[in-house]
Amino acid sequence: MFSQLQHPPADPILGLSVKFKADTNPNKIDLGPGIYKDEAGNTPVLACVKAAEKFRVENETSKVYLGSAGSALFNDKIASLILGDHKVIRENRVRTVSTPGGTGALRIAGELINKTKPGTTIWVSNPTWANHQGVFKAAGLNIETYPYYDYENKCLDFDAMVEALKQIPAGDAVLLHACCHNPSGMDLNKEQWQQVAELAREIGFTPVVDIAYQGFGQGLDVDAYGLRLMADSVDEMIICSSCSKNFGLYRDRIGACSIIGKNAASADIIGAVMVTVVRVNYSMPPAHGAALVETILSSDELTAQWHGELQEMRERIAGMRQLFVEKLVENGVTRDFSFITTQNGMFSFLGIDGDQIQRLQDEFSIYVVGSSRVNVAGLSTSNVDYLTQSIAKVL
């Protein structure tokens, strides 16, 4: 059966991690994987999560299945987190299922779209998260791209984006990053979100909003501004959310796929179909991460603690962006890297070429994805000098 299989190409980010682990240089720096790291280079379990786990251990009475939709309490809490006190919730137009992480949410979204209209085209930004295209292709969708990032000027290519969106046929789907765009760090501002929302309403494409980093940009509500504005503007949309980053629940794999229907009856039908998609995919979602999130969001004390811990992570990333640019200047780099301080979330393109990226790896044990995307959260006050001195040398 398997004799015809060929070895697939290595994942560019996971392959970097393997090389990093084998590197014996004590000064090595891994800027590839998209995970939050603290000043010590660790990805700690949040204190609010530890408290929720303690509560779960003491109060859990069964390991029975939750059902294909997952925990109803988690689903309600996560819908309120991403949408706030939005009219679509008050109008009973939202249906949510728990999923294995944000990737699971994207896969369910893709399969729901394909079940509704087989072979639908979904448009993704150029660039986008490396796994977006693979997930949607595996779900049976056709993939097209729209312009997003201006590599030469290190900014959002919004005019080109708008012109491309104007050409998208009604009935196609468009993937949008709610905040902390992966991999560029460039986000739409409020006025730009307004234009995109108006286009979605006028043209009739279906927005699919990926919100994997809520709270890592400007704050929980600000990061959801565009998503909520879109929900004001269109009758139907899909939202894929993740608890990996903002709750630090990476390995617990909990996220959600939420749909907004034209009315409650329509939402019931879409939600029921979405549950059938889940049933033939992974059947039942994991319970542990959902239980932790719903415990935290059901407690005023734990919610306040989570807000504080999330703010600390967000401010550390923003501080490292500023320090990174300052240290580049201190080390004699004349090229303008100030764009890094205008971006949101963990990611940024350095804009250096392939030879320079390879030199960073070979000569200095600094591991950067081939596109020059770096995870700013991988920086710290203890390694930023070595990093910026190395960049100065390869430039």
Residues with a catalytic annotation lie at 129, 210, 245
Token pair for 22 = 């084998």
Closest by CA to 207, choosing from 84, 44, 88, is 88
Query: Residue-wise over 143-181: b if at least 16 C-beta within 10 A, else e?
Result: eeebbbbbeeebebbbeebeebbeebeeebbbbbbbbbb
Residue 241: in which H helix or E strand, if any?
strand 237-242
Cβ neighbours for 394, distance < 8 A, ≥ 6 positions apart = 352, 356, 359, 360, 363, 364
Rounded to whole angstroms, the Cα distance separating 123 from 164 reads: 10
Q: Are 245 and 277 in contact (CB under 8 A)?
A: no
| DSSP character at residue 338 | G
Token pair for 74 = 């988690």
**Cis link prior to 127 (omega < 30° from 0)?**
yes
Secondary structure class of 238 (helix, strand, coil): strand
